[in-house]
Amino acid sequence: MRILVQRVSRASVTIDGREHSHIGRGLLVLVGIEAADGDEDIAWLAGKLLRLRIFDDAQGVMNLDVTQVGSEIMVVSQFTLFASTRKGNRPSYIRSAPEAVSHPMYDRFVEHLRREFGGEVATGVFGADMKVELVNDGPVTIWIDSRNRE
């Protein structure tokens, strides 16, 4: 499982020309799921995300996590995070889990975050053609992979 975390001033998801969800200051989290991923990956990534200290403290040092600053979270499914460009110029998505696996995993990830975060987690719509708009704050963008636990 992979997440791409962006610290944002604001973010929104629009589907068919209508805003579906939005957040103010917080984290926009793009989620990619592999067929081999399981509940252990969900728990590890959710915990890592909620403890990620990427918000500034009073001294301007990235030392606070999303719960400490009272920010918001938005989670959007993103199967292209597992794109492979090894052969040629057309990306292959063979490592991305099929919808029958990834959709329930995505839902469990969001529910796990809601329980641990203790607040609402905004989302996109799994499988929809979404327009994601964001203002990256910093910019701060961090890639986390549950198979590469650095």
Q: Which of 6, 14, 55, 79 is catalytic?
A: 79
Q: Which of 55, 67, 68, 80 is catalytic?
A: 80
66 alpha-carbon distance from chain centroid: 13
Is 82 a catalytic site residue? no
Amino acid identity for residue 10 in this structure: R
Is 78 a catalytic site residue? yes
* Among the listed residues 144, 149, 132, the one whose alpha carbon sits nearest the alpha carbon of residue 32: 144
Integer Cα distance of 48 and 73 in angstroms: 14
Phi-psi region of 102 (alpha: psi -120 to 50; beta: other; left: phi over 0): alpha
Place of tokens 């959007």: 76
**Residue 4 near residue 30, CB atoms below 8 Å:** yes
Q: Which of 78, 82, 109, 123 is catalytic?
A: 78
Is 123 a catalytic site residue? no
Catalytic residues: 78-80
